[in-house]
Amino acid sequence: MSDSIHISALRGLIGDHAVLTEPADMAPYETGARYDKGLAAFVARPGSTEHLSAAVAYCVQHGICLVPQSGNTGLVSGSTPDATGAQGVLSLDRLTSIFELDRANRSVRVAAGMRLSDLNARLEDAGLCFPIDLGADPRVGGMVATNTGGSRFLRYGDVRRNTLGLKVVLADATGTVLDLTSDLRKNNTGVDLKQLFIGTSGSYGVITECVLNLEPVPQQTATALLVPASPESVSDLLNAMEAAVGSYLSAFEGMSGNAVRAALDHVPSLRNPFQGGIVPDFVILAEISRSNTPRKGEQSLDEVLETVLEEIWEGEDQLLADAFVGPPGEIWAMRHALSEGVKHRGRLVAFDLSFRRGDVMRFLDRMKTELPVKFPDVTICDFGHIGDGGVHFNLVVARDDARMSDGAFENSLRAWVFDIAVQQFGGSFSAEHAIGRKNQAFYDRYTPREIRKLSASLRKVTSPGALGSMKF
Amino acid sequence: MSDSIHISALRGLIGDHAVLTEPADMAPYETGARYDKGLAAFVARPGSTEHLSAAVAYCVQHGICLVPQSGNTGLVSGSTPDATGAQGVLSLDRLTSIFELDRANRSVRVAAGMRLSDLNARLEDAGLCFPIDLGADPRVGGMVATNTGGSRFLRYGDVRRNTLGLKVVLADATGTVLDLTSDLRKNNTGVDLKQLFIGTSGSYGVITECVLNLEPVPQQTATALLVPASPESVSDLLNAMEAAVGSYLSAFEGMSGNAVRAALDHVPSLRNPFQGGIVPDFVILAEISRSNTPRKGEQSLDEVLETVLEEIWEGEDQLLADAFVGPPGEIWAMRHALSEGVKHRGRLVAFDLSFRRGDVMRFLDRMKTELPVKFPDVTICDFGHIGDGGVHFNLVVARDDARMSDGAFENSLRAWVFDIAVQQFGGSFSAEHAIGRKNQAFYDRYTPREIRKLSASLRKVTSPGALGSMKF
């Protein structure tokens, strides 16, 4: 493209300092959180919905592809430009000025560029939170665009469930601003258009404002580590916990022994909580929580959890090999160290899978049997959200493994795992990371033709211009 | 249309007995639950998705408009044919054969024609339920097509939140069957197409199969009647209850004194639970519930509710004028009698509104002041779901009121209420009934042009044929 003319034009529309072109300034916007580095033609950082609309309209008119970027914490190369140098980055990082809390409605209206941590810090005094619990600290617009889930999905659901309204800019010749910012909980007056922009990685339109559901911050929490009697008992254990504590259950996370050992090795300050220091093959972190401060006559949550685990322990089904209640801070510290720990074990080939809840352990069991035969010297270090069927299925290969020198081995490993997960178990190849360049090939492979066709047609009607890194 | 040729053709496709044409046979399919009676060209009752697809394809090819009909319990004339006699009814009532329960996944796959009551009866042994609580007994497909909410929305959300997957037939020349029947909870692999068919009254496509989230049946329930100190304290009372019992709160229903008196008068077996039999101006039904059977050392839910109400009673804010815990069966019987009671008071002009939660009482207050001036001799008998901002705003006019002899008075009353609710309070003119002929004019009036335009374009891409009673 005739760069300088477009750059000047964009600067005229949204401000001189709002368009970056220096390589050093652009570098952070070109580099993804986990994978690869692209090349941006420019980085546009509009400070308002109106400016963002003007920039989008200009780029659509001139055939320039824009890649919307929010917090750039995604793991599938959905928010960075490709290597051609022809794509512009459209950053939300200056859209941070709106914060309108409605306590009675338990909702908040925020600009899409606000960080999750900022949002929750500002909600603290009201005793409320946006209940999506993640390892990363994304901006809100990107959370909606990828429909993030996280560790408390079981209790609070995903971002979709907690989104009341959106303001969106469409990639058409006028940069149409679609105001879908309802703050109503019940509203059935036609098609719910905001759903198109949730989980579609910014390819249907650019989110600039969000109205979000809030929840009371839990005031009491109790956690336990459970060692299931066998892989088969995990699913029954989950159902037993749900029957026993119902909506108090706020996490039910699975951790493989390999992942736990990697975390304990990597973070020496973590205490090994297991008897004799022997890490079991598979451990579950169960958390219950409630929003009230302790009340007269009320059992403490630790007592509740103790009682429930005792009942399950003594039950006929013998679901538990071991179980103990422990301090939430310590137990979650171990859970949160898994990701970094696993990364330090070697070269990581990571999968973001999900299954019917009852299939999680069946899939893991099959992998344990077949992987070593098919791909020797690859270690399984999985962990994940059993309560909602999610599995961060991580494979680790030694750093000096010659097979990793070109992409062929990794590609065949990836294809083999995905084929079993998706085609044989009916699972998802992207449970909570949505679609970007990194997993586009699998979208193409596993999405039935009529669904791809309809998705592409709908997208063309909504945002005909080139937007986002996802291809339909 | 050249009727007999089409009827024969349809019978050839889906079976002789699956196409009704006798007036007596068609009558129940032509008459809505609350409003008016239409005229059907025929009633097609396919027994499978394949037959339904064949019927839809035929009708699209021959320009015949089909109105999908599920349980026909809707209140906005969304599922009955118009008066022209040119529309065919496409009934789901023979699609009842699929019922696949997955206990570990807490989900069920059902044919769209299954009644809600049948579904829950079949789930009882597993201790699970589809947690949408309604006065009517619709079929599942219609519940999804209208995204029903109901009395336990506060705890379990709407049908959208509880729908994991759908199978849909599109109104195109081939009757495309779109299989979106995932049973995954976490799956972000592109645009979530099923959302287009939720709440769009069958106009985007006909739902033939549903995969639904299930919840444990509550094993303990406690209810109380709360008399707020003033209309202003209702919203604070709700927030106080949410802080105190969090996710145990399963209903927070508002009932006007007029509606309660109408119920008590209409159903003599109901006990008047108020001191001295004096019904207050406004009462709240609060319910808490949990999924476990009583456990050693655990306070009973009645005790929990007593303690919480005592704390609120003694609090500085003086939110309560009165409050008492009572038997759930008795209290819910009164709540469930409101609708019938109000109907027997006179001619009903009913509104299905919703607001930001903090606005519910402000709207009601404004109506109490202005309605008698603007429209004398109209009684407000509202009740609704304060916890989610929903209000069944019912107006009652004497049966012999001359103003009701033509539609003009009712139309101006309706327009006046809706304008205030929607334009001045930012509320919804259809909180949980979706869109049909009865409220189409208000869709046209209140939906911004660019939203109508995009909705119509998306619909045309999805189902180009004539389908459903809603117009975009």
Q: Which two tokens stand for residue A240?
A: 């037993």
Q: Is the pLDDT of residue A465 over 80?
A: yes
Q: Confirm or reject contact between A174 and chain B (CB < 8 A).
A: no
The CATH classification of domain B99-216, taken from the options 3.30.465.10, 3.40.190.80, 3.40.50.970, 3.50.50.60:
3.30.465.10
The mean pLDDT value for B258-284 works out to: 96
Q: Using CA of residue A207, residue A209, residue A213, residue A214, what is the dihedral sign?
A: positive
- Cα separation, B332 vs B234, whole angstroms: 20
Q: What is the mean pLDDT of chain A?
A: 96
A220-269+282-328 and A346-445 in the same fold:
yes
**B273 burial level (CB within 10 Å; 0-12, 13-18, 19+):** middle
Domain B3-91: which CATH class?
A: alpha beta
Quote the minimal CA–CA distance from A291 to chain B in Å.
5
Instruction: Please state the domain extents for chain B.
Output: 3-91, 99-216, 220-339, 346-435
Q: Among B176, B200, B211, B173, which residue's Cα sits nearest to residue B79?
A: B200
Which stretch of DSSP H or E encloses residue A252?
Answer: strand A249-256
Which range is least confidently modeled, A32-36, B351-355, B443-447?
Answer: A32-36
Q: Confirm or reject contact between A287 and chain B (CB < 8 A).
A: no
Smallest Cβ–Cβ distance between A104 and the set B357, B430, B431 belongs to B357
Q: What is the DSSP string of B111-170?
A: ETT-BHHHHHHHHGGGTEE-----SS--BHHHHHHHT---TTHHHH--TGGGEEEEEEE-
Which stretch of DSSP H or E encloses residue A243?
Answer: helix A233-245
Smallest Cβ–Cβ distance between A184 and the set B354, B433, B462 belongs to B354
Smallest Cβ–Cβ distance between B199 and the set A178, A188, A196 belongs to A188
φ/ψ of residue A206, rounded to 5:
-105, 120
Q: Where are the alpha helices (DSSP H) in B344-467?
A: 360-374, 407-418, 440-446, 449-462
Smallest Cβ–Cβ distance between B243 and the set A291, A450, A459 belongs to A291
The mean pLDDT value for A150-176 works out to: 96
Q: Is the pLDDT of residue B35 over 70?
A: no
Q: Confirm or reject contact between B291 and chain A (CB < 8 A).
A: yes
Q: Is the pLDDT of residue A1 over 50?
A: no
* A contact test, residue of B107, B180, B191 with most A CBs within 10 A: B191
Q: Is the pLDDT of residue A2 over 80?
A: no
Chain A residues in contact with B173 by the CB 8 A cut-off are none
Question: Left if phi > 0, otherwise alpha if psi is -120 to 50, otherwise beta: which for B106?
Answer: left
Quote the minimal CA–CA distance from B426 to chain A in Å.
8
Q: Confirm or reject contact between B290 and chain A (CB < 8 A).
A: yes
- Helix (H, G, I), strand (E, B), or coil: what is residue B443? helix
φ/ψ of residue A34, rounded to 5:
-120, -45
- Cα separation, A385 vs A373, whole angstroms: 27
**B59 Cβ contact list (under 8 Å, min separation 6):** B10, B65, B66, B88, B171, B465, B466
Q: Which two tokens stand for residue A281?
A: 């093959």
Q: Do B357 and A106 touch (CB under 8 A)?
A: yes
Q: Do A435 and B188 touch (CB under 8 A)?
A: yes
Q: What is the mean pLDDT of chain B?
A: 96
Q: Confirm or reject contact between B340 and chain A (CB < 8 A).
A: no
Q: Do B158 and A186 touch (CB under 8 A)?
A: yes
User: Cα separations (Å) of B327 from A356, B274, B285?
Assistant: 39, 14, 12
- Cα separation, A258 vs A329, whole angstroms: 21
CA-based end-to-end distance of chain B: 24
Quote the minimal CA–CA distance from B471 to chain A in Å.
10
* Angle B382-B385-B391 from CA coordinates, rounded to 5°: 40
The predicted pLDDT at position B406 comes to 87
Chain A residues in contact with B393 by the CB 8 A cut-off are none
Quote the minimal CA–CA distance from A364 to chain B in Å.
16
Q: Do B356 and A102 touch (CB under 8 A)?
A: yes
User: Chain B 415-434, CB below 8 Å of chain A: which residues?
Assistant: 426-434
* Max Cα-Cα span within chain A: 76
Q: Do B106 and A242 touch (CB under 8 A)?
A: yes
Quote the minimal CA–CA distance from A44 to chain B in Å.
25
The mean pLDDT value for A126-138 works out to: 94
Q: Do A295 and B303 touch (CB under 8 A)?
A: no
Q: Do B458 and A146 touch (CB under 8 A)?
A: no
- Cα separation, A403 vs A375, whole angstroms: 10
Q: Confirm or reject contact between A53 and chain B (CB < 8 A).
A: no
Which range is least confidently modeled, A50-64, A291-305, B166-180, B391-405?
Answer: A291-305
CATH fold for domain A220-269+282-328: Alpha-Beta Plaits (3.30.70)
Q: Confirm or reject contact between B458 and chain A (CB < 8 A).
A: yes
Q: Confirm or reject contact between B355 and chain A (CB < 8 A).
A: yes
Q: What is the dihedral of CA B250, B256, B259, B260, to 10 degrees?
A: 70
- Cα separation, B439 vs B468, whole angstroms: 14
Chain A residues in contact with B452 by the CB 8 A cut-off are 190
The predicted pLDDT at position A247 comes to 87
Percent of chain A with pLDDT over 70: 99
Q: Any idea how long chain B is?
A: 472
φ/ψ of residue A165, rounded to 5:
-160, 160
The mean pLDDT value for A350-358 works out to: 97
Residue A68, amino acid: P
Asked whether the beta carbons of A95 and A111 are under 8 A apart, the reply is yes
Closest-approach residue (CA) in chain A for B449: A178
Q: Confirm or reject contact between A386 and chain B (CB < 8 A).
A: no
The mean pLDDT value for A354-383 works out to: 97
Smallest Cβ–Cβ distance between A191 and the set B105, B303, B458 belongs to B458
Asked whether the beta carbons of B324 and B249 are under 8 A apart, the reply is no
Quote the minimal CA–CA distance from B90 to chain A in Å.
21
User: Cα separations (Å) of A454 from A199, A461, B193, B438?
Assistant: 16, 11, 9, 31
pLDDT bin (cut points 50, 70, 90) of residue B1 is very low
Q: Which residue has the tokens 């600039």?
A: A208
Chain B residues in contact with A242 by the CB 8 A cut-off are 106, 216, 291
The CATH classification of domain B220-339, taken from the options 3.10.20.90, 3.30.450.20, 3.30.70.2190, 3.40.50.80:
3.30.70.2190
Q: Which residue has the tokens 């699913």?
A: A235
C-beta neighbour count of A82 within 10 angstroms: 16
CATH number for the domain formed by residue range(s) A346-445: 3.30.70.2740
C-beta neighbour count of A268 within 10 angstroms: 6
Asked whether the beta carbons of B268 and B226 are under 8 A apart, the reply is no
pLDDT bin (cut points 50, 70, 90) of residue A35 is low
Closest-approach residue (CA) in chain B for A182: B426
- Cα separation, A338 vs B152, whole angstroms: 38
Q: What is the DSSP string of B61-114?
A: HTT--EEEESS---SSS-SS--TTS-PEEEE-TT----EEEETTTTEEEEETT-
Q: Confirm or reject contact between A461 and chain B (CB < 8 A).
A: yes
- Cα separation, A160 vs A197, whole angstroms: 10
- Cα separation, B467 vs B170, whole angstroms: 9
- Cα separation, A162 vs A185, whole angstroms: 10
- Helix (H, G, I), strand (E, B), or coil: what is residue A102? strand
**A to B CB pairs, distance under 8 Å:** 286
CATH number for the domain formed by residue range(s) B346-435: 3.30.70.2740
Smallest Cβ–Cβ distance between B457 and the set A239, A443, A461 belongs to A461
Percent of chain B with pLDDT over 70: 99
pLDDT bin (cut points 50, 70, 90) of residue A175 is very high
Percent of chain B with pLDDT over 90: 94
- Cα separation, A38 vs A163, whole angstroms: 31
Q: Which residue has the tokens 């409003």?
A: B35
Quote the minimal CA–CA distance from B154 to chain A in Å.
9
What is the β-pairing status of strands B88-91 and B66-69? parallel
Quote the minimal CA–CA distance from A404 to chain B in Å.
27
Q: Confirm or reject contact between B233 and chain A (CB < 8 A).
A: no
**A22 Cβ contact list (under 8 Å, min separation 6):** none
Q: Which two tokens stand for residue B181?
A: 């029947």
Residue A87, amino acid: Q
Q: Which residue has the tokens 């579904």?
A: B119
Asked whether the beta carbons of A204 and A172 are under 8 A apart, the reply is no
> What confidence tens digit (pLDDT) does each residue in A100-119 have?
999 999 999 999 999 999 99
Burial code (b: 16+ CB inside 10 Å, e: under 16) for A170-181 equals bbbeebbbbebb
